[in-house]
Structure 1
Amino acid sequence: MEGQVFDIEVKLFIEAVFMKYKYDFRQYSLASVKRRLSNALITHNIKTISALQEKVLHEPEFFTAILQHMTISTTEMFRDPLYFKAFREKVVPYLKSYPSIKIWVAGCSTGEEAYSFAIILKEEGLLERVMIYATDINPLSLERAQQGIYRLEDIKKYTQNYQEAGGLHSFTNYYTADYNAAAIDPSLKKSIIFADHSLATDSVFSEMQFVSCRNVLIYFDKKLQNRAITLFHDSLSIKGFLGIGSKESLKFSSMSSAFEPWANNERIYRKLK
Protein backbone atom coordinates (compact mmCIF):
# COMPACT_ATOMS: atom_id res chain seq x y z
CA MET A 1 0.00 0.00 0.00
CA GLU A 2 2.83 2.39 0.86
CA GLY A 3 4.28 1.85 -2.60
CA GLN A 4 0.96 2.81 -4.22
CA VAL A 5 0.68 5.96 -2.11
CA PHE A 6 4.25 6.93 -2.92
CA ASP A 7 3.62 6.53 -6.67
CA ILE A 8 0.47 8.67 -6.43
CA GLU A 9 2.37 11.36 -4.51
CA VAL A 10 5.18 11.39 -7.09
CA LYS A 11 2.76 11.83 -9.99
CA LEU A 12 0.94 14.64 -8.18
CA PHE A 13 4.28 16.28 -7.37
CA ILE A 14 5.38 16.19 -11.02
CA GLU A 15 2.07 17.71 -12.13
CA ALA A 16 2.28 20.41 -9.45
CA VAL A 17 5.81 21.37 -10.51
CA PHE A 18 4.67 21.69 -14.12
CA MET A 19 1.66 23.83 -13.19
CA LYS A 20 3.62 26.10 -10.85
CA TYR A 21 7.05 26.37 -12.47
CA LYS A 22 6.55 25.03 -16.05
CA TYR A 23 9.28 22.42 -15.64
CA ASP A 24 7.93 19.31 -17.34
CA PHE A 25 9.05 15.97 -15.85
CA ARG A 26 5.83 14.19 -16.81
CA GLN A 27 7.50 12.08 -19.49
CA TYR A 28 10.70 11.36 -17.59
CA SER A 29 11.34 7.79 -16.53
CA LEU A 30 9.18 7.28 -13.41
CA ALA A 31 11.79 5.02 -11.83
CA SER A 32 14.43 7.73 -12.22
CA VAL A 33 12.18 10.46 -10.82
CA LYS A 34 11.21 8.30 -7.82
CA ARG A 35 14.85 7.57 -7.07
CA ARG A 36 15.84 11.23 -7.23
CA LEU A 37 12.93 12.38 -5.11
CA SER A 38 13.72 9.72 -2.52
CA ASN A 39 17.23 11.15 -2.28
CA ALA A 40 15.74 14.64 -1.91
CA LEU A 41 13.60 13.47 1.02
CA ILE A 42 16.65 12.09 2.79
CA THR A 43 18.82 15.13 2.08
CA HIS A 44 16.24 17.63 3.32
CA ASN A 45 14.86 15.43 6.13
CA ILE A 46 11.30 15.45 4.82
CA LYS A 47 9.06 12.45 5.49
CA THR A 48 6.71 12.38 2.49
CA ILE A 49 6.47 13.59 -1.11
CA SER A 50 3.27 15.41 -0.15
CA ALA A 51 5.20 17.42 2.45
CA LEU A 52 7.92 18.06 -0.13
CA GLN A 53 5.27 19.27 -2.59
CA GLU A 54 3.79 21.71 -0.08
CA LYS A 55 7.20 23.21 0.63
CA VAL A 56 8.09 23.44 -3.08
CA LEU A 57 4.80 25.15 -3.98
CA HIS A 58 5.12 27.78 -1.25
CA GLU A 59 8.90 28.37 -1.33
CA PRO A 60 10.27 29.03 -4.84
CA GLU A 61 13.83 29.20 -3.54
CA PHE A 62 13.42 25.70 -2.13
CA PHE A 63 12.28 24.47 -5.55
CA THR A 64 15.64 25.60 -6.93
CA ALA A 65 17.32 23.25 -4.44
CA ILE A 66 15.01 20.37 -5.39
CA LEU A 67 15.69 21.01 -9.08
CA GLN A 68 19.29 20.03 -8.39
CA HIS A 69 18.05 16.58 -7.40
CA MET A 70 15.71 16.34 -10.38
CA THR A 71 18.36 17.18 -12.98
CA ILE A 72 21.56 15.91 -11.38
CA SER A 73 23.91 14.34 -13.91
CA THR A 74 27.37 12.83 -13.94
CA THR A 75 29.73 14.69 -16.24
CA GLU A 76 33.41 15.34 -16.78
CA MET A 77 35.62 16.79 -19.48
CA PHE A 78 36.20 14.37 -22.37
CA ARG A 79 34.02 11.77 -20.67
CA ASP A 80 34.20 8.56 -22.73
CA PRO A 81 37.36 9.70 -24.55
CA LEU A 82 36.77 7.52 -27.62
CA TYR A 83 33.60 9.50 -28.34
CA PHE A 84 35.61 12.71 -28.57
CA LYS A 85 38.34 10.95 -30.54
CA ALA A 86 35.71 9.80 -33.05
CA PHE A 87 34.33 13.35 -33.22
CA ARG A 88 37.82 14.66 -34.03
CA GLU A 89 38.65 11.99 -36.60
CA LYS A 90 35.28 11.26 -38.25
CA VAL A 91 33.21 14.43 -37.88
CA VAL A 92 35.63 17.36 -37.82
CA PRO A 93 36.93 16.69 -41.38
CA TYR A 94 33.38 17.28 -42.65
CA LEU A 95 32.83 20.31 -40.44
CA LYS A 96 35.86 21.92 -42.07
CA SER A 97 33.90 22.25 -45.31
CA TYR A 98 31.44 24.72 -43.71
CA PRO A 99 32.20 28.46 -43.64
CA SER A 100 30.43 28.67 -40.28
CA ILE A 101 29.58 25.86 -37.88
CA LYS A 102 26.90 25.50 -35.24
CA ILE A 103 27.05 22.82 -32.56
CA TRP A 104 24.38 22.07 -29.97
CA VAL A 105 25.29 20.40 -26.67
CA ALA A 106 21.87 19.49 -25.24
CA GLY A 107 21.73 18.77 -21.51
CA CYS A 108 25.10 20.45 -20.98
CA SER A 109 24.91 20.33 -17.17
CA THR A 110 27.86 22.27 -15.72
CA GLY A 111 29.61 22.79 -19.06
CA GLU A 112 32.41 20.24 -19.16
CA GLU A 113 31.31 18.69 -22.46
CA ALA A 114 30.91 22.06 -24.20
CA TYR A 115 34.43 23.08 -23.20
CA SER A 116 35.75 19.71 -24.39
CA PHE A 117 34.36 20.34 -27.87
CA ALA A 118 35.77 23.88 -27.81
CA ILE A 119 39.26 22.52 -27.07
CA ILE A 120 39.13 20.05 -29.96
CA LEU A 121 37.83 22.67 -32.38
CA LYS A 122 40.54 25.10 -31.30
CA GLU A 123 43.20 22.48 -31.93
CA GLU A 124 41.69 21.78 -35.34
CA GLY A 125 41.74 25.47 -36.27
CA LEU A 126 37.96 25.80 -36.37
CA LEU A 127 37.02 27.61 -33.17
CA GLU A 128 36.93 31.06 -34.81
CA ARG A 129 34.06 29.98 -37.08
CA VAL A 130 32.16 27.86 -34.55
CA MET A 131 29.28 28.73 -32.25
CA ILE A 132 28.50 26.16 -29.57
CA TYR A 133 25.03 26.33 -28.05
CA ALA A 134 25.11 24.58 -24.66
CA THR A 135 21.66 24.18 -23.13
CA ASP A 136 20.12 22.83 -19.95
CA ILE A 137 17.00 23.32 -17.83
CA ASN A 138 18.89 23.82 -14.57
CA PRO A 139 19.77 27.51 -13.94
CA LEU A 140 22.37 26.74 -11.28
CA SER A 141 24.15 24.27 -13.58
CA LEU A 142 24.17 26.90 -16.35
CA GLU A 143 25.61 29.47 -13.95
CA ARG A 144 28.42 27.09 -13.02
CA ALA A 145 29.00 26.31 -16.69
CA GLN A 146 29.36 30.01 -17.54
CA GLN A 147 31.85 30.44 -14.71
CA GLY A 148 33.96 27.56 -16.03
CA ILE A 149 35.57 26.87 -12.66
CA TYR A 150 36.16 23.24 -11.66
CA ARG A 151 37.70 21.37 -8.77
CA LEU A 152 41.43 21.00 -9.02
CA GLU A 153 41.12 17.39 -7.85
CA ASP A 154 39.14 16.59 -11.02
CA ILE A 155 41.77 18.00 -13.40
CA LYS A 156 43.94 14.88 -13.20
CA LYS A 157 41.07 12.78 -14.56
CA TYR A 158 40.23 15.39 -17.19
CA THR A 159 43.86 15.42 -18.30
CA GLN A 160 43.89 11.66 -18.74
CA ASN A 161 40.62 11.79 -20.68
CA TYR A 162 42.01 14.56 -22.92
CA GLN A 163 45.08 12.52 -23.74
CA GLU A 164 43.03 9.40 -24.52
CA ALA A 165 40.75 11.52 -26.73
CA GLY A 166 43.72 12.39 -28.95
CA GLY A 167 44.66 15.75 -27.43
CA LEU A 168 47.43 17.48 -29.37
CA HIS A 169 48.96 19.66 -26.66
CA SER A 170 49.35 19.88 -22.91
CA PHE A 171 46.00 20.10 -21.14
CA THR A 172 47.50 22.83 -18.93
CA ASN A 173 47.12 25.16 -21.94
CA TYR A 174 43.40 25.31 -21.33
CA TYR A 175 43.09 26.35 -17.69
CA THR A 176 44.74 28.34 -14.95
CA ALA A 177 44.90 26.90 -11.46
CA ASP A 178 45.22 28.17 -7.93
CA TYR A 179 45.31 26.13 -4.72
CA ASN A 180 41.88 24.50 -5.02
CA ALA A 181 40.26 25.39 -8.36
CA ALA A 182 40.93 25.49 -12.08
CA ALA A 183 39.46 28.19 -14.34
CA ILE A 184 38.87 27.47 -18.02
CA ASP A 185 40.78 29.62 -20.53
CA PRO A 186 38.51 32.59 -21.36
CA SER A 187 39.29 32.22 -25.09
CA LEU A 188 37.24 29.00 -25.09
CA LYS A 189 34.20 30.77 -23.63
CA LYS A 190 33.92 33.23 -26.52
CA SER A 191 32.49 30.57 -28.82
CA ILE A 192 29.96 29.14 -26.33
CA ILE A 193 26.46 30.38 -25.54
CA PHE A 194 24.92 28.81 -22.43
CA ALA A 195 21.12 28.98 -22.45
CA ASP A 196 17.96 27.50 -20.97
CA HIS A 197 16.20 24.95 -23.19
CA SER A 198 13.88 22.06 -22.36
CA LEU A 199 13.76 18.99 -24.57
CA ALA A 200 10.30 18.30 -23.14
CA THR A 201 8.64 21.58 -24.09
CA ASP A 202 10.87 23.77 -26.32
CA SER A 203 11.38 23.66 -30.08
CA VAL A 204 14.10 24.00 -32.72
CA PHE A 205 16.02 27.27 -32.40
CA SER A 206 18.70 27.06 -35.12
CA GLU A 207 20.21 24.82 -37.81
CA MET A 208 23.13 22.76 -36.53
CA GLN A 209 25.90 20.72 -38.11
CA PHE A 210 26.43 18.62 -34.98
CA VAL A 211 24.22 17.84 -31.99
CA SER A 212 25.53 16.08 -28.89
CA CYS A 213 23.07 14.84 -26.28
CA ARG A 214 24.66 12.22 -24.09
CA ASN A 215 23.26 10.34 -21.11
CA VAL A 216 20.04 12.35 -21.14
CA LEU A 217 17.69 10.17 -23.18
CA ILE A 218 18.04 7.33 -20.67
CA TYR A 219 16.04 9.41 -18.17
CA PHE A 220 13.11 9.90 -20.59
CA ASP A 221 10.20 7.62 -21.34
CA LYS A 222 9.74 6.38 -24.92
CA LYS A 223 7.46 9.22 -25.99
CA LEU A 224 9.83 11.93 -24.77
CA GLN A 225 12.83 10.11 -26.28
CA ASN A 226 11.11 10.21 -29.67
CA ARG A 227 10.27 13.89 -29.21
CA ALA A 228 13.89 14.74 -28.40
CA ILE A 229 15.34 12.73 -31.30
CA THR A 230 12.84 14.31 -33.70
CA LEU A 231 13.91 17.71 -32.37
CA PHE A 232 17.56 16.88 -33.02
CA HIS A 233 16.75 15.63 -36.53
CA ASP A 234 14.85 18.81 -37.35
CA SER A 235 17.70 20.91 -35.95
CA LEU A 236 20.36 19.28 -38.11
CA SER A 237 21.42 20.48 -41.54
CA ILE A 238 21.48 17.98 -44.39
CA LYS A 239 24.02 15.28 -43.53
CA GLY A 240 24.49 16.74 -40.05
CA PHE A 241 25.71 14.57 -37.17
CA LEU A 242 24.12 13.41 -33.90
CA GLY A 243 26.01 11.98 -30.93
CA ILE A 244 24.31 10.21 -28.01
CA GLY A 245 25.40 8.34 -24.88
CA SER A 246 27.13 4.97 -24.81
CA LYS A 247 24.06 3.32 -23.23
CA GLU A 248 21.62 4.98 -25.63
CA SER A 249 20.50 3.97 -29.10
CA LEU A 250 18.39 5.20 -32.02
CA LYS A 251 17.55 1.61 -32.95
CA PHE A 252 14.04 1.50 -31.50
CA SER A 253 13.11 5.16 -31.92
CA SER A 254 10.55 6.44 -34.42
CA MET A 255 13.40 8.28 -36.18
CA SER A 256 15.81 5.35 -36.55
CA SER A 257 15.41 5.25 -40.35
CA ALA A 258 16.32 8.94 -40.63
CA PHE A 259 19.93 8.36 -39.53
CA GLU A 260 22.82 6.14 -40.53
CA PRO A 261 25.52 4.94 -38.13
CA TRP A 262 28.71 6.95 -38.61
CA ALA A 263 30.88 5.91 -35.69
CA ASN A 264 28.76 3.04 -34.43
CA ASN A 265 30.70 2.06 -31.32
CA GLU A 266 30.81 5.69 -30.19
CA ARG A 267 27.11 6.28 -30.96
CA ILE A 268 27.59 8.97 -33.60
CA TYR A 269 25.03 9.03 -36.40
CA ARG A 270 24.59 11.02 -39.60
CA LYS A 271 21.29 12.44 -40.80
CA LEU A 272 20.13 10.98 -44.09
CA LYS A 273 18.80 13.22 -46.84
Structure 2
Amino acid sequence: MSLQQATDGDLEKIEIALLLEGIFRRYGYDFRNYSYASVRRRIWHRIHLEGLNNVSSLQERVLHQPEAFGRLLGDMVIPVTEMFRDPAMFRAFREDVVPLLRQLPNLRIWHAGCSTGEEVHAVAIILHEEGLLDKTRIYATDINESALQQAKDGIIPIERMKQYTKNYHAAGGIQSFSDYYDSDHGVVILKPYLRNNVVFARHNLVTDRSFNEFHVILCRNVMIYFNSQLRDQVHRLFYESLANEGFLVVGDKESIAFTPKADKYDTWNEQYRLYRKMR
Protein backbone atom coordinates (compact mmCIF):
# COMPACT_ATOMS: atom_id res chain seq x y z
CA MET A 1 0.00 0.00 0.00
CA SER A 2 1.37 3.40 -0.97
CA LEU A 3 1.63 6.35 1.39
CA GLN A 4 -1.05 8.11 -0.67
CA GLN A 5 -3.45 5.16 -0.35
CA ALA A 6 -2.91 5.02 3.40
CA THR A 7 -3.48 8.76 3.65
CA ASP A 8 -6.69 8.55 1.60
CA GLY A 9 -8.01 5.76 3.83
CA ASP A 10 -7.22 7.71 6.99
CA LEU A 11 -8.87 10.81 5.55
CA GLU A 12 -12.03 8.88 4.75
CA LYS A 13 -12.19 7.57 8.32
CA ILE A 14 -11.90 11.13 9.61
CA GLU A 15 -14.66 12.29 7.26
CA ILE A 16 -16.98 9.47 8.34
CA ALA A 17 -16.27 10.14 12.01
CA LEU A 18 -17.11 13.82 11.52
CA LEU A 19 -20.29 12.95 9.61
CA LEU A 20 -21.50 10.60 12.35
CA GLU A 21 -20.63 13.12 15.06
CA GLY A 22 -22.52 15.82 13.15
CA ILE A 23 -25.59 13.58 12.76
CA PHE A 24 -25.58 12.86 16.48
CA ARG A 25 -25.32 16.53 17.47
CA ARG A 26 -27.76 17.79 14.83
CA TYR A 27 -30.43 15.08 14.83
CA GLY A 28 -29.80 12.91 17.90
CA TYR A 29 -29.21 9.66 16.00
CA ASP A 30 -26.04 7.93 17.18
CA PHE A 31 -24.31 5.68 14.66
CA ARG A 32 -20.82 6.30 16.04
CA ASN A 33 -20.41 2.78 17.38
CA TYR A 34 -21.97 0.91 14.50
CA SER A 35 -19.79 -1.48 12.53
CA TYR A 36 -17.45 0.69 10.45
CA ALA A 37 -17.64 -1.52 7.36
CA SER A 38 -21.44 -1.49 7.38
CA VAL A 39 -21.65 2.27 7.97
CA ARG A 40 -19.09 3.01 5.26
CA ARG A 41 -20.97 0.89 2.71
CA ARG A 42 -24.26 2.64 3.41
CA ILE A 43 -22.72 6.11 3.37
CA TRP A 44 -21.15 5.53 -0.04
CA HIS A 45 -24.42 4.13 -1.35
CA ARG A 46 -26.06 7.45 -0.43
CA ILE A 47 -23.15 9.49 -1.83
CA HIS A 48 -23.62 7.87 -5.24
CA LEU A 49 -27.41 8.33 -5.17
CA GLU A 50 -26.98 12.00 -4.27
CA GLY A 51 -24.53 12.54 -7.13
CA LEU A 52 -21.75 13.61 -4.78
CA ASN A 53 -18.04 12.86 -4.76
CA ASN A 54 -17.01 12.38 -1.14
CA VAL A 55 -18.13 12.01 2.46
CA SER A 56 -17.55 15.67 3.29
CA SER A 57 -19.98 16.72 0.56
CA LEU A 58 -22.59 14.41 2.02
CA GLN A 59 -21.94 15.85 5.48
CA GLU A 60 -22.60 19.37 4.26
CA ARG A 61 -25.83 18.30 2.60
CA VAL A 62 -27.33 16.28 5.46
CA LEU A 63 -26.46 18.84 8.12
CA HIS A 64 -28.09 21.67 6.16
CA GLN A 65 -30.96 19.76 4.55
CA PRO A 66 -33.09 17.64 6.93
CA GLU A 67 -34.74 15.94 3.97
CA ALA A 68 -31.31 14.74 2.83
CA PHE A 69 -30.68 13.37 6.30
CA GLY A 70 -34.00 11.54 6.07
CA ARG A 71 -32.79 9.81 2.91
CA LEU A 72 -29.51 8.83 4.57
CA LEU A 73 -31.36 7.60 7.66
CA GLY A 74 -33.36 5.29 5.41
CA ASP A 75 -30.08 3.78 4.22
CA MET A 76 -28.64 3.47 7.71
CA VAL A 77 -31.61 1.62 9.22
CA ILE A 78 -32.72 -0.54 6.32
CA PRO A 79 -35.63 -2.69 7.57
CA VAL A 80 -34.93 -6.39 6.96
CA THR A 81 -37.69 -8.58 8.32
CA GLU A 82 -40.47 -11.00 7.49
CA MET A 83 -43.26 -12.79 9.32
CA PHE A 84 -42.07 -15.91 11.11
CA ARG A 85 -38.55 -15.45 9.77
CA ASP A 86 -36.55 -18.52 10.85
CA PRO A 87 -39.70 -20.59 11.47
CA ALA A 88 -37.92 -23.15 13.64
CA MET A 89 -37.09 -20.42 16.16
CA PHE A 90 -40.76 -19.45 16.41
CA ARG A 91 -41.71 -23.10 16.85
CA ALA A 92 -39.13 -23.40 19.65
CA PHE A 93 -40.51 -20.21 21.24
CA ARG A 94 -44.02 -21.67 21.13
CA GLU A 95 -42.99 -25.07 22.50
CA ASP A 96 -40.21 -24.17 24.95
CA VAL A 97 -41.08 -20.67 26.23
CA VAL A 98 -44.83 -20.16 25.95
CA PRO A 99 -45.72 -22.92 28.46
CA LEU A 100 -43.74 -21.05 31.11
CA LEU A 101 -45.27 -17.70 30.16
CA ARG A 102 -48.71 -19.22 30.66
CA GLN A 103 -47.99 -19.43 34.40
CA LEU A 104 -47.72 -15.63 34.74
CA PRO A 105 -50.75 -13.45 35.56
CA ASN A 106 -49.78 -10.95 32.85
CA LEU A 107 -47.02 -10.56 30.27
CA ARG A 108 -44.86 -7.72 29.03
CA ILE A 109 -42.87 -8.30 25.84
CA TRP A 110 -40.42 -5.91 24.20
CA HIS A 111 -39.62 -6.13 20.50
CA ALA A 112 -36.48 -3.99 20.28
CA GLY A 113 -35.73 -2.93 16.71
CA CYS A 114 -39.14 -4.07 15.46
CA SER A 115 -38.71 -2.55 11.98
CA THR A 116 -42.01 -2.68 10.03
CA GLY A 117 -43.62 -4.99 12.56
CA GLU A 118 -43.79 -8.37 10.83
CA GLU A 119 -42.23 -10.22 13.78
CA VAL A 120 -44.43 -8.31 16.23
CA HIS A 121 -47.50 -9.62 14.43
CA ALA A 122 -45.99 -13.11 14.28
CA VAL A 123 -45.58 -13.26 18.06
CA ALA A 124 -49.07 -11.79 18.52
CA ILE A 125 -50.45 -14.63 16.39
CA ILE A 126 -48.65 -17.25 18.50
CA LEU A 127 -49.93 -15.68 21.72
CA HIS A 128 -53.45 -15.53 20.30
CA GLU A 129 -53.36 -19.21 19.38
CA GLU A 130 -52.00 -20.08 22.82
CA GLY A 131 -54.66 -18.03 24.61
CA LEU A 132 -52.21 -15.45 26.01
CA LEU A 133 -52.68 -12.38 23.83
CA ASP A 134 -55.39 -10.76 25.96
CA LYS A 135 -53.14 -10.70 29.03
CA THR A 136 -50.07 -9.46 27.14
CA ARG A 137 -48.76 -5.96 26.54
CA ILE A 138 -46.28 -5.82 23.66
CA TYR A 139 -43.94 -2.85 23.32
CA ALA A 140 -42.65 -2.55 19.74
CA THR A 141 -39.86 -0.02 19.33
CA ASP A 142 -37.57 1.13 16.57
CA ILE A 143 -35.34 4.06 15.69
CA ASN A 144 -37.06 4.52 12.32
CA GLU A 145 -40.37 6.38 12.58
CA SER A 146 -41.34 5.54 9.00
CA ALA A 147 -40.95 1.82 9.73
CA LEU A 148 -42.95 2.23 12.95
CA GLN A 149 -45.83 3.80 11.01
CA GLN A 150 -45.88 0.82 8.66
CA ALA A 151 -45.98 -1.47 11.68
CA LYS A 152 -48.90 0.47 13.16
CA ASP A 153 -50.82 0.25 9.88
CA GLY A 154 -50.34 -3.51 9.60
CA ILE A 155 -50.16 -3.34 5.80
CA ILE A 156 -48.05 -5.84 3.85
CA PRO A 157 -47.58 -6.27 0.07
CA ILE A 158 -49.68 -9.20 -1.05
CA GLU A 159 -46.81 -10.83 -2.95
CA ARG A 160 -45.12 -11.66 0.35
CA MET A 161 -48.00 -13.73 1.68
CA LYS A 162 -47.06 -16.99 -0.04
CA GLN A 163 -43.73 -17.03 1.81
CA TYR A 164 -45.29 -15.82 5.04
CA THR A 165 -47.93 -18.55 4.88
CA LYS A 166 -45.22 -21.15 4.38
CA ASN A 167 -43.28 -19.71 7.34
CA TYR A 168 -46.38 -19.69 9.54
CA HIS A 169 -47.09 -23.38 9.05
CA ALA A 170 -43.41 -24.31 9.47
CA ALA A 171 -43.48 -22.36 12.76
CA GLY A 172 -46.29 -24.54 14.11
CA GLY A 173 -49.30 -22.44 13.14
CA ILE A 174 -52.56 -24.23 13.96
CA GLN A 175 -55.12 -22.23 11.95
CA SER A 176 -55.50 -21.04 8.39
CA PHE A 177 -53.08 -18.13 7.99
CA SER A 178 -55.65 -16.28 5.88
CA ASP A 179 -57.74 -15.91 9.07
CA TYR A 180 -55.30 -13.20 10.18
CA TYR A 181 -55.64 -10.75 7.32
CA ASP A 182 -57.88 -9.14 4.74
CA SER A 183 -56.69 -8.36 1.20
CA ASP A 184 -57.58 -5.20 -0.67
CA HIS A 185 -56.18 -3.71 -3.89
CA GLY A 186 -52.90 -5.61 -3.88
CA VAL A 187 -52.09 -5.25 -0.21
CA VAL A 188 -52.76 -7.30 2.89
CA ILE A 189 -54.11 -5.69 6.04
CA LEU A 190 -53.44 -7.71 9.18
CA LYS A 191 -56.37 -8.01 11.56
CA PRO A 192 -56.51 -5.01 13.95
CA TYR A 193 -57.02 -7.16 17.07
CA LEU A 194 -53.42 -8.38 16.67
CA ARG A 195 -52.32 -4.81 17.52
CA ASN A 196 -54.86 -4.02 20.23
CA ASN A 197 -52.31 -4.73 22.98
CA VAL A 198 -49.28 -3.36 21.14
CA VAL A 199 -47.61 -0.04 21.99
CA PHE A 200 -45.52 1.25 19.08
CA ALA A 201 -42.90 3.84 20.08
CA ARG A 202 -39.59 5.28 18.95
CA HIS A 203 -36.71 4.04 21.08
CA ASN A 204 -33.00 4.30 20.33
CA LEU A 205 -31.01 1.39 21.73
CA VAL A 206 -27.87 3.51 21.54
CA THR A 207 -29.00 6.52 23.55
CA ASP A 208 -32.24 5.65 25.39
CA ARG A 209 -32.64 3.87 28.71
CA SER A 210 -34.75 1.05 30.08
CA PHE A 211 -38.43 1.97 30.32
CA ASN A 212 -40.08 -1.10 31.91
CA GLU A 213 -39.50 -4.62 33.17
CA PHE A 214 -40.21 -7.37 30.65
CA HIS A 215 -40.79 -11.10 30.68
CA VAL A 216 -39.49 -11.46 27.10
CA ILE A 217 -37.19 -9.28 25.01
CA LEU A 218 -36.75 -10.03 21.32
CA CYS A 219 -33.96 -8.27 19.44
CA ARG A 220 -33.13 -10.34 16.39
CA ASN A 221 -30.39 -9.49 13.91
CA VAL A 222 -30.08 -5.89 15.08
CA MET A 223 -26.80 -6.03 17.00
CA ILE A 224 -24.91 -7.52 14.05
CA TYR A 225 -24.51 -3.90 12.92
CA PHE A 226 -22.95 -2.78 16.23
CA ASN A 227 -19.32 -2.83 17.27
CA SER A 228 -18.39 -4.75 20.42
CA GLN A 229 -18.60 -1.67 22.68
CA LEU A 230 -22.13 -0.84 21.62
CA ARG A 231 -23.21 -4.48 21.67
CA ASP A 232 -22.06 -4.78 25.29
CA GLN A 233 -23.91 -1.58 26.18
CA VAL A 234 -27.15 -2.90 24.69
CA HIS A 235 -26.78 -6.24 26.46
CA ARG A 236 -26.50 -4.38 29.77
CA LEU A 237 -29.70 -2.52 28.88
CA PHE A 238 -31.52 -5.76 28.14
CA TYR A 239 -30.30 -7.39 31.36
CA GLU A 240 -31.55 -4.40 33.37
CA SER A 241 -34.88 -4.56 31.53
CA LEU A 242 -35.57 -8.29 32.00
CA ALA A 243 -37.51 -9.66 34.93
CA ASN A 244 -35.92 -12.52 36.85
CA GLU A 245 -36.33 -15.70 34.80
CA GLY A 246 -37.28 -13.59 31.77
CA PHE A 247 -36.29 -14.65 28.26
CA LEU A 248 -33.94 -12.96 25.81
CA VAL A 249 -34.23 -13.89 22.11
CA VAL A 250 -31.51 -12.77 19.69
CA GLY A 251 -30.81 -13.49 16.04
CA ASP A 252 -29.34 -16.65 14.58
CA LYS A 253 -26.03 -14.88 13.86
CA GLU A 254 -25.84 -13.46 17.39
CA SER A 255 -25.02 -14.82 20.82
CA ILE A 256 -24.64 -13.61 24.38
CA ALA A 257 -21.23 -15.31 24.59
CA PHE A 258 -18.43 -12.92 25.61
CA THR A 259 -20.89 -10.19 26.59
CA PRO A 260 -20.75 -8.65 30.10
CA LYS A 261 -23.84 -10.54 31.31
CA ALA A 262 -23.24 -13.90 29.64
CA ASP A 263 -22.87 -15.69 32.97
CA LYS A 264 -26.22 -14.30 34.17
CA TYR A 265 -28.25 -16.39 31.75
CA ASP A 266 -29.16 -20.03 31.32
CA THR A 267 -28.96 -21.21 27.74
CA TRP A 268 -32.52 -22.31 27.08
CA ASN A 269 -32.00 -23.22 23.43
CA GLU A 270 -28.59 -22.46 21.94
CA GLN A 271 -29.57 -23.43 18.41
CA TYR A 272 -32.34 -20.85 18.28
CA ARG A 273 -30.68 -18.31 20.61
CA LEU A 274 -33.15 -18.46 23.48
CA TYR A 275 -31.71 -17.45 26.84
CA ARG A 276 -33.25 -17.18 30.30
CA LYS A 277 -32.13 -14.69 32.94
CA MET A 278 -31.19 -16.44 36.15
CA ARG A 279 -32.43 -15.21 39.53
TM-score by length of 1: 0.98
What residue in structure 2 maps to residue 193 of structure 1? 199
List alignment gaps of at least 5 residues for structure 2: 1-6
1:85 partnered with 2:91:
yes
Using the alignment, how far apart are the partners of 1:168 and 1:41 within structure 2? 47
Contact 2:108 2:138 in 1 (8 A): yes
1:56-105, Cα deviation, whole Å (9 max, x unpaired): 11111221121110111311000001111111011111111111100000
What residue in structure 1 maps to residue 18 of structure 2? 12
**Secondary structure at the residue paired with 2:115?**
coil
**Secondary structure at the residue paired with 1:74?**
coil
Shift of 1:5: 2.2
Runs of 4+ in 1 over 3 A off after TM superposition: none
**What one-letter code is carried by the residue in structure 1 that aligns with 2:86?**
D
Contact 2:79 2:116 in 1 (8 A): no
- 2:112 is aligned, of 92, 106, 109, to 106
What residue in structure 1 maps to residue 56 of structure 2? 50
List alignment gaps of at least 5 residues for structure 1: none
Using the alignment, how far apart are the partners of 2:14 and 2:105 within structure 1? 53
**Secondary structure at the residue paired with 1:78?**
coil
1:174 partnered with 2:180:
yes
What residue in structure 2 maps to residue 239 of structure 1? 245
1:26-73, Cα deviation, whole Å (9 max, x unpaired): 111111111111111222222211111111111112211211101113
Using the alignment, how far apart are the partners of 2:162 and 2:53 within structure 1? 40
What residue in structure 2 maps to residue 249 of structure 1? 255
1:109-152, Cα deviation, whole Å (9 max, x unpaired): 11111111000000001110101101111111111111111111
- 1:66 is aligned, of 72, 78, 81, to 72
Using the alignment, how far apart are the partners of 1:36 and 1:48 within structure 2? 13
Using the alignment, how far apart are the partners of 2:255 and 2:48 within structure 1? 33
- 1:152 is aligned, of 138, 141, 158, to 158
Using the alignment, how far apart are the partners of 1:4 and 1:11 within structure 2? 11
**What one-letter code is carried by the residue in structure 1 that aligns with 2:137?**
M
What residue in structure 1 maps to residue 29 of structure 2? 23
**Secondary structure at the residue paired with 1:266?**
coil
Using the alignment, how far apart are the partners of 1:100 and 1:61 within structure 2? 42
- 2:136 is aligned, of 101, 118, 130, to 130
Shift of 1:3: 2.4
Using the alignment, how far apart are the partners of 1:62 and 1:81 within structure 2? 37
Matched length: 273
**Secondary structure at the residue paired with 1:265?**
coil
Q: Which has the larger radius of gyration?
A: 2
**Secondary structure at the residue paired with 1:238?**
strand
Using the alignment, how far apart are the partners of 2:129 and 2:85 within structure 1? 18
1:267 partnered with 2:273:
yes
What residue in structure 2 maps to residue 215 of structure 1? 221
Using the alignment, how far apart are the partners of 2:52 and 2:104 within structure 1? 53
Using the alignment, how far apart are the partners of 2:61 and 2:148 within structure 1? 24
1:174-202, Cα deviation, whole Å (9 max, x unpaired): 11112311011001011111111111111
1:146-184, Cα deviation, whole Å (9 max, x unpaired): 111111111111111111000010110111112311011
